[in-house]
Amino acid sequence: MKETFSMSILPEWNGLTLESLLKNELSFGKKSIHQWRMEKSITINGELKPWKNPLSEGDQLTFKYTVLPSAPAWKAEVDVLFEDEHLVVLNKPARLDTHPNSEADTQTLQNAIVHDLLSKGHSGYAQPIHRLDHDTTGAILFAKHPAIKPLLDQLLEKRMIKRTYIALAEGQMKTSGTIREPIGKDRHHPVRRRVSPGGQKAVTQYQRLSVDPVKNLSLVELNLETGRTHQIRVHLSSIGHPIAGDTLYGSISRQFSHQALHARKLSFIHPFTLKEITASAPPPAYFKHH
């Protein structure tokens, strides 16, 4: 399906050439830039113009591309927190995978957003920039076209997408702290991760928001400097405060049917508008009682 997306030349980009903008300011790869040039995929104010001409503030760039749906469509409700023509932030429910792990897996959040986009006349391209575990809820970012995806991937890699979580942890945690323990695979379990000297660097900052002495739970806010698989779950378990309901990592609480972990907020600078985007996901009801 042929699609287009547009972007305006901001004051910061006035006087740049198209090539300089794409390469130096937006950090597109050489392959993408070469393909757009050869296929004459970019118009300026609706016209094909030489790439060496200087751009002016307010000029409109329109990109044309051909793309297929990213996954089979699955009709299911999606909770949109923020959306424009480039990206969408969703509020993921529990008991749902972020994306398919096999061809037979067709009922995931990615399948649901593909259906939602197709129903609006969009190509159905939707690629997750990061992932949330099956039972983790909250804000998650998807790219809506193939040009924005590498730019968002770069933001994630450079730790420029700030992700804030909340969790209900067992016990009464310290007021605040930073956990700096590398994380690797647990060779005795196909899914579980563990703190391991030979693992990947992992840093989690936490701050205790409140304590429920009756239920022996701490409500904590967490910020990730890295994004390892199961990072928060492994780190909190490693200091003796597993997330309530997280039986994989040692929770003994039976108050929850899954780990009480929620991605509360995402914030980043939009690559095409340079505006700060902040999307907040309301916590599930069980957080409100703590």
Stretch among 29-38, 91-100, 160-169, 260-269 having the lowest mean pLDDT: 29-38
What pTM, to 2 d.p., does this model score? 0.93
Give the torsion sign (CA, 77, 83, 88, 94).
negative
**Which one from 97, 133, 135, 246 is the annotated catalytic residue?**
133
Residues 77-101, mean pLDDT to the nearest whole number: 97
- Domains of the chain are 2-66 (3.10.290.10), 80-158 (3.30.2350.10), 163-259 (3.30.2350.10)
Pairwise CA distance, residues 201 & 224, whole Å: 12
Structural Rg of the chain based on CA atoms = 22
Write the single-letter amino acid at 260.
A
Instruction: Count other Cβ atoms within 10 Å, centred on residue 125.
Output: 22
For the chain, the distance separating the N- and C-terminal CA atoms, rounded to the nearest angstrom, is 48
285 has a pLDDT exceeding 70 = yes
41-57: pLDDT as tens digits: 999 999 999 999 999 99
Residue type at 59 in one-letter notation: D
Q: Average of pLDDT values for 99-127? A: 96
Known catalytic residue at 135? no
Give the DSSP letter of residue 237: H
Secondary structure element (H or E) that encloses residue 231, with its range: helix 231-238
Report the distance separating Cα 166 and Cα 287, nearest Å: 9
- What digits encode the pLDDT tens for the residues 181-240? 999 999 999 999 999 999 999 999 999 999 999 999 999 999 998 889 999 999 999 999
Look up tokens 């995806």; give the residue. 149
